[in-house]
Amino acid sequence: MAITSANQLELLQTAEAVAREKMIDPGLVVEAMEESLARAAKSRYGSEMDIRVKIDRKTGRATFTRVRTVVGDEELENYQAELTVKQAKQYMADPQIGQTYVEEVPPVDMGRIAAQSAKQVILQKIREAERDRQYEEFKDRAGTIINGQVKREEYGNVIVDVGRGEAILRRNEKIGRESYRPNDRIRCYIKDVRREARGPQIFLSRTDPQFMAELFKMEVPEIYDGIIEIKAVARDPGSRAKIAVISFDSSIDPVGACVGMRGSRVQAVVNELQGEKIDIIPWSEDMPTFLVNALQPAEVTKVVLDEEAERIEVVVPDEQLSLAIGRRGQNVRLASQLTGLDIDIMTEADESARRQKEFEVRTKLFMDALDVDEFFAQLLVSEGFTNLEEVAYVEVDELLVIDGVDTDTASELQARARDNLEAQAKAALDHARELGAEDSLIEFDGLTPQMVEALAEDGVKTLEDFATCADWELAGGWTTVNGERVKDEGLLEKFEMSLEEAQHLVMSARVLLGWVDPSELEPDVEDDAADDGDAEETEA
């Protein structure tokens, strides 16, 4: 495409033709032409010059101008594109630094090489404009379903024609062992659209859980209208899936609406997903109830929820265990994805055995610590007592309900429990001092002798050491490693310390040490720190 200064109207005609063909703004093509003409002029007049070209959008006339900027005497580096104030005075009345002097220069005729270079510049600009247009078109369509036509397959990845661009369906985003031939129609979920150097990359998926959700939205008008909402989706692509739905209209059954007349709606989705079996579950705000629904078709006897650890314990009848777990753990894995909780499944026999073991451990604790026989220790455990602190500091009336326990016996039990606890505290304190625990840590309010001992065993021996600890280091927590939740054991977790309590203690220690300004803390932390300080002064 040779562009000459004599052929001015042809510039605009070429720009319009290219813009129509590539479906981009004609202004972008004209800008590319201006840039290419300026580059050709620089090769003629000198690359050091600042040559600019402006093409009239009506006549096609190209105006070539040379621009020079006014700079200070010491800043003059390129005399072809810059002027000093003194030099500028011969062209301008009152030149100021930063102003520009523009003068028109004769247009240049492009030779063959310059025309070829101009063509490359224009083509490059057009390619960039096409990429921008594609990205702008598809960036807002991420998270929706698109219909396309298979163009080819490369190393297991399918290249799909999606109209004004190409998209890629990676091998691991296909369901099972799906295979496609060129020109096959395909329906996919737009998972991601990225702007990259080689153009926008559109990534498709058929295994993403949201693909199934979008298919239901297309098949079930109530979901599209917002009467029914999909709350959670979990998939084992090509095999089984679970979807939780809720209705905001009490007259509409969410599960029935998704199934459709004689299963027509859900069957349409199943056919698209290569026969994937779908369990449609009513969603509930009550997590245990939701989990019972999610584990269908298995029956659940008992559910124990630990919200802080985001774990849930499920007890099922012995004969239901394999059904609850599912083939290769599929059922419980999907239920876990659906609820966002780690699920432990045990049979009634396993739970009974665990409870029996706990009963025996607590019985032995009371026998050894309170010097009572096995029968009496079992009575205490049966009444719900789990540790010595409960026996030592409970109201006497709660001990009197036990058969054969009178006031004197209750008082004796409490005295023995307190003596034992004091002995344990003294032993823990002595051991902590042997390990090097300092008084600043031992006398810190909020830590028991057993806690101080546990800290000293881990190298935390001073209040300064304690103040540098993170709350999760003390109370424990959970982290996600390679997609799996891993337990972090806390130094004081066995004392049932919560994350909030750990944070409170650490901040109080930092205030006492002067590391933190008390005015920046919540009132309760500030007050506790002040009380600790008063106590220290009194002792002093």
State the Rg of the chain over Cα: 39
CB 464 within 8 A of CB 513: yes
Q: Concatenate the DSSP letters of all residues of 18-29 into one string.
A: HHHHHTS-HHHH
Distance CA 279, CA 281 (A): 6
Closest CA to 122 of 112, 132, 130: 130
Q: What's the pTM value of the predicted model, to 2 decimals?
A: 0.56
Which top CATH class is 436-520?
Answer: mainly alpha
pLDDT tier at 292, thresholds 50, 70, 90 = confident
User: Quick check: bond before 26 cis, omega within 30?
Assistant: no
Closest CA to 228 of 214, 242, 248: 248
Q: Is the pLDDT of residue 428 over 80?
A: yes
CA distances from 213 to 85, 142, 146, 193, 280 (A): 69, 14, 14, 19, 11
Residues 171-177: contacts with CB under 8 Å, at least 24 apart:
172/207, 173/203, 173/204, 173/205, 173/206, 173/207, 173/208, 174/206, 174/207, 175/206, 175/207, 175/237, 175/238, 175/273, 175/274, 175/276, 176/237, 176/238, 176/274
Q: Which two tokens stand for residue 401?
A: 């309900």
Distance CA 466, CA 443 (A): 13
Residue type, 289: T
Highest mean pLDDT among 55-64, 170-179, 274-283: 274-283
CATH number of 5-131: 3.30.1480.10
Q: Is 331 left (phi over 0), alpha (psi -120 to 50) or beta?
A: alpha
Give the model confidence (pLDDT) of 196-251 as tens digits: 767 678 889 998 999 999 999 999 999 988 899 999 999 988 888 999 999 998 88
Give the model's pLDDT for residue 492.
87
Mean pLDDT of the chain: 81
Give the model confidence (pLDDT) of 66-79 as tens digits: 888 888 777 777 76
- Cite the residue boundaries of each domain of the chain with CATH code 2.40.50.140: 140-205
pLDDT tier at 267, thresholds 50, 70, 90 = very high
CA distances from 513 to 437, 441, 461, 518 (A): 17, 12, 15, 11
Residue 199's beta-bridge partner residues? 196
Q: Concatenate the DSSP letters of all residues of 128-159 into one string.
A: HHHHHHHHHHHHTTTTSEEEEEEEEEETTEEE
Distance CA 133, CA 125 (A): 12
Q: In this prediction, what percent of the chain has a pLDDT beyond 70?
A: 86
Q: Is 284 left (phi over 0), alpha (psi -120 to 50) or beta?
A: beta
- Cite the residue boundaries of each domain of the chain with CATH code 1.10.150.20: 436-520
CB 203 within 8 A of CB 138: no
Distance CA 406, CA 383 (A): 16
Residue type, 352: S
Give the model confidence (pLDDT) of 470-486 as tens digits: 888 888 877 766 666 67
DSSP 108: -
Residue type, 261: M
Distance CA 392, CA 374 (A): 19
pLDDT tier at 119, thresholds 50, 70, 90 = low
Question: What is the phi/psi pair of residue 62, to 5°?
Answer: -100, 125
- Cite the residue boundaries of each domain of the chain with CATH code 3.30.1480.10: 5-131
3-state secondary structure 329-374: HHHHHHHHHHHCCEEEEEEHHHHHHHHHHHHHHHHHHHHHHHCCCH
Q: Which residues contact 154 (CB under 8 A, 6 or more apart)?
A: none
Distance CA 76, CA 99 (A): 14
pLDDT tier at 8, thresholds 50, 70, 90 = low
Give the model's pLDDT for residue 14.
67
CATH number of 140-205: 2.40.50.140
